Amino acid sequence: MSRSIATRTGDDGTTSLVYGQRVPKDHPQVEAVGAFDELHVALGAAKFLAGPGPTGEVLGTAQRALIAFMGELACAEEDAERYAESSFAKVSEPEVAALDRAIAGLEARGMKFEGWAVPGANPLAIALDQARVVARRAERRLCALPAHGRSVRPELRQWMNRLSDLLWLLARDSEAATAGPGSPAESPPRPLPST
């Protein structure tokens, strides 16, 4: 018989970090991991709407990086060195560089925008904007952790900032695909650089 997901260990309002330390469910690290889990789901919804192709691929790559991201965030400060030396996947400079390349690829297509965006042109653009605002909230939770005693590597902050920017550009690109005459959609779409 398989083990139940209902362990009942959280009935007292606590949960486990990566190496077993119990903390309250409203602990700042748990709040941050929860925000990133919401982002993971939001990216999945956008990926579903994007379908096969460059946008779906870049979103899937971001989801895989988020799994590593959440693992590191769910580790107590006193176990950070142990986690760093572990074989767990980690977000690092190559992942930041991949997002930079994807952003540069979109900007190289001549995308120009002035003023505030008004989300809602199509379902994919809405999903991308929803993922973007969830990403910004998760980023705020991440930036709050040092004040609560949990250090954050610079690469994690950089990756999150780039991801939010990329999601904004992808949403605008999706809107352009449904825009009228004279829009950037009139030029043939080019694939995003591989990440």
Domain count, the chain: 1
The answer as to whether 2 is a domain residue is no
12 assigned to some structural domain: no
Residue 181 has pLDDT above 70, yes or no: no
Q: Is residue 130 part of a domain?
A: yes
Cβ atoms 158, 94 nearer than 8 A = no
DSSP at 79: G
Query: b vs e for 95-109, b when ≥16 Cβ sit within 10 Å of the residue's Cβ?
Result: bbebbbebbebbeee
* Rounded Cα gap, residues 4 and 189, in angstroms: 47
Supply the pLDDT for residue 76. Answer: 83
* 23 is a domain residue: yes
In-domain check, residue 3: no
Q: Indicate the average pLDDT of the chain.
A: 84
Residue 113 has what pLDDT?
67
Per-residue b/e over 162-193, b at no fewer than 16 CB within 10 Å?
bbbbbbbbbbbbbbbeeeeeeebbeeeeeebb
Residue 151 domain boundaries: 17-186
Q: How confident is the model at residue 30 (pLDDT cuts 50, 70, 90)?
A: confident
Instruction: For residue 66, give the CATH number of its domain.
Output: 1.20.1200.10
Output the pLDDT for position 102.
94
**pTM over the 0.85 mark:** no
- Which pLDDT score, from 0 to 100, does residue 74 have? 86
Nearest to 10 by CA among 33, 26, 28: 26
| CA-wise closest residue to 38 among 7, 15, 70 | 70
Tell me, yes or no, whether 87 lies in a domain.
Answer: yes
Domain for residue 155, yes or no? yes
Tell me what pLDDT residue 121 has: 78
d(CA 82, CA 76): 10
Q: Would you say residue 194 lies in a domain? A: no
- Where residue 181 falls (left for φ over 0; alpha for ψ -120 to 50; beta otherwise) is beta
Between 31 and 39, name the one with better pLDDT.
39
